[in-house]
Structure 1
Amino acid sequence: MNSLFKLALLTSALLLASACANQYPTSGASFNVKSVVELPEELSETSGLFCEIDSMYSLNDSGNAPIIYRINYQGEITERTRLPLTNRDWEAITADDTSFYIADVGNNKGKREKVEVHKVNRRNTNEITTFTLKYAGNNASSNIPYAHDFDSEAMVKYGNELLLFSKSWRTGITHVYKVNEGETEQTISPFASIEGLPGVVTGVDFDHHQGMFVITGYKSDPFGNFATFIAQISQDYTLFDIWPLERYKQVEGVCVDNKGTYWFSEEATEGRKASLSSAQITQK
């Protein structure tokens, strides 16, 4: 990592620390990790998670093979679906009954003028519609790596809406965007924002049991230190509850199963293998 990137990361970390200095809201509920398993080396760069009744789906990020991995709840790969796409920087996966949605939206350095979301027919994975997105106000030539807000790693299909949650390095204010599935090329503007999070957002799902969005993310610095968290966000995009994920680093995906169990995946980092964890919320 060169000195410019280190400086940008440090600046971003200081801005986030300042923005999140206030005490976090809490409902008094506790977040209890129940299980942790290592993921196969093939999923070392896991960067998204989607839960279904009997399995979940994940993918790897930047430059890896364009494969959707089906895994069981023990973290074992049970199926691989290779798509006729390029994985420039896949960062999230979500789905509904008929389609997978793959977010090729990674933009840490800020140099992408446009990003993409791929809608993949679940019955015929060669049938793909690509939505090309440009953020309103994004000027890639002037963005400072790791110190801008035109990035995203979190996407969820919420009812009939496809939502992107920004990875806001510069301000720490998470912006929420809608992707219009009726337009293959579009400029997107935020319709909601979330303040008070203690870091950037890397994963999102919707918890139908509690009627809340659940997000995960972290605050990092140039020296490899991570402060990771999971939070609940109300349907009007207000921070409701937050829990630190101690001993975790680069958590990238989160999903909620049909029983209300939270699952989250951690990308491999130096000296640490990729993992899959489950947790329960206990009301006090």
Structure 2
Amino acid sequence: MKNFLVLFTLLFSLNFSAQQNLEWLKLNPYQTALFSDTLKENSGLAFFENKIYTFNDSGNTSEIFEIDRTSATIKKTWKTGLKNNDWEAIATDSANFYIGDFGNNRGTRKHLTIFKIPFKDSLHLNSIQEIPFFYPQQNTFEAQNLNTDYDAEAMVVLNGKIHVFTKEWFSKGVAHYTIDPTLTENQPAQKVEYYQTDFVVTDASYFEGKLYVVGYTKKFEIYLAIFNETSPGIFFEQKAKKYYLGSTLALGQIEGIAVDKSGVYISGEEFRTRFSKSKARLYFIPMNKLPAH
């Protein structure tokens, strides 16, 4: 019976991988630290000048935290004084933080915005720019809890544009929109491309011609997908390399990714069910441990 179960598990795994066109990459061995309770609802990661930053999502304070790469301890806290309606993404360019206040898992929000915060040694709070936007394709704002295609938790800043990647609860794909960071009036997000991920995207990071996205399904499956940039700011023309990372029940609710030359940092917020709790964790996959992509 034991041998039969082993064989069944192996065949199931191979069949699952073939059907999903993915590789298995167990994330658990790459855990580096637990987050403190202050960051148990961390919701994104981003690099700025070789330092890594995070924040908490809705229902929490409006602070930006510099964390230690190894221990996940808070090294510095930056108070923004802004309102955290539903912060879900953080990105940077050479001079600014960008905070995406565009979480919309019920599909009812009509005021979506990105805060551009100049940064040089400290946050320049008197120069914060608010960049409001909307999805021109959205024609209903009736509550559709966890069933809307106009939620978002991921963005990068590239080539002078903000690139927002949707969290599509209904379609289980991702739409790529661009936003002009120089405009302060409410602007329509420009839809560029679409990809059927079969999971909801919760964060994105761009590094050396590749877009890295993470997310999960309602069945607690966690995935990493890596896209090649085929022309400036275009990522979805080729099939992504897709990895199954494990279960939310064990790894936490994966909400953040940041990539540099050393490797891939992934963060998860605390995840609770009636029967168990998975603490907020930080993971690091060295670049030389990532299967060829």
DSSP-derived class of the 1:93 partner: strand
Instruction: Give the number of the structure with larger relative contact order, counting CA–CA contacts within 8 Å between residues 6 or more apart.
Output: 1
**TM-score using structure 2 length:** 0.81
How many aligned residue pairs are there?
A: 256
Aligned to 1:125: 124
Q: TM-score, normalised by structure 1?
A: 0.84
The CA deviation string for residues 106-129 of structure 1, in whole angstroms up to 9 with x for no partner, is 000111012110000003431200
Give, in whole Å, the separation in 1 of the partners of 2:158 and 2:26.
24
Indicate how the Cα distance of structure 1 residues 30 and 106 shifts in structure 2: closer, same or farther if over 3 A, else same. Answer: closer
Code of the residue aligned with 1:192 in structure 2: it is E
- Is the Cα–Cα contact under 8 Å of residues 148 and 169 in structure 1 kept in the other structure? yes
Which moved further from structure 2: 154-163 or 128-137?
154-163
Say if 1:228 and 1:249, in contact at 8 Å, map to a contact too.
Answer: no
Secondary structure of the 2:271 match is: coil
Given candidates 254, 264, 267, the residue that maps to 2:266 is 264
Match in the other structure for 1:15: none
**RMSD over equivalenced CA pairs, Å:** 2.2
Query: Aligned letter for 2:284?
Result: S
For residues 130-157 of structure 1, give each alpha carbon's deviation from its aligned partner in whole angstroms, at most 9, with x where no partner exists. 0111111324533522111111000111
1:145/1:93 CA distance change after superposition, 3 Å: same
CA distance in 2, matches of 1:30, 1:64: 32
Taking the aligned partners of 2:106 and 2:182, their CA distance within structure 1 comes to: 29
Q: Which residue of 2 aligns with 1:227?
A: 221
Secondary structure in 2 matching 1:109? coil
Preserved CA contact (<8 Å) 2:258 2:265:
yes
Q: Distance in 2 between matches of 1:147 and 1:267?
A: 21
User: How far is the alpha carbon of 1:160 from its aligned partner?
Assistant: 2.3
Can you list the C-alpha shifts for 1:32-85, whole angstroms capped at 9, x where unaligned?
A: 653331011100110010124642000000121110000011211000000021
SS in structure 2 at match of 1:23: helix
**Rg larger for:** 2
Asked if 1:212 is matched to 2:213, the reply is no
Tell me, yes or no, if structure 1 residue 251 matches structure 2 residue 254.
yes
User: What's 2:193 paired with?
Assistant: 192
Q: Following superposition of structure 1 onto structure 2, how do residues 99-138 of structure 1 map, counting pairs within 5 Å?
A: 99-123=96-120, 124-126=123-125, 127-138=127-138
Name which of 43, 46, 56 aligns with 1:47.
43
Distance in 2 of aligned mates of 1:21 and 1:38: 30
Identity among equivalent positions (%) equals: 26
One-letter code aligned to 2:281:
S
Residue 42 of structure 2 contacts residue 268 of structure 2 at CA under 8 Å; is this kept in 1?
Answer: yes
Residues 25 and 240 of structure 1 are in contact (CA less than 8 Å); yes or no, is this contact kept in structure 2? no
Q: Name 1:165's counterpart in structure 2.
A: 165
- The answer on whether the counterparts of 1:232 and 1:240 sit within 8 Å (CA) in structure 2 is yes
1:158 positional shift? 2.2
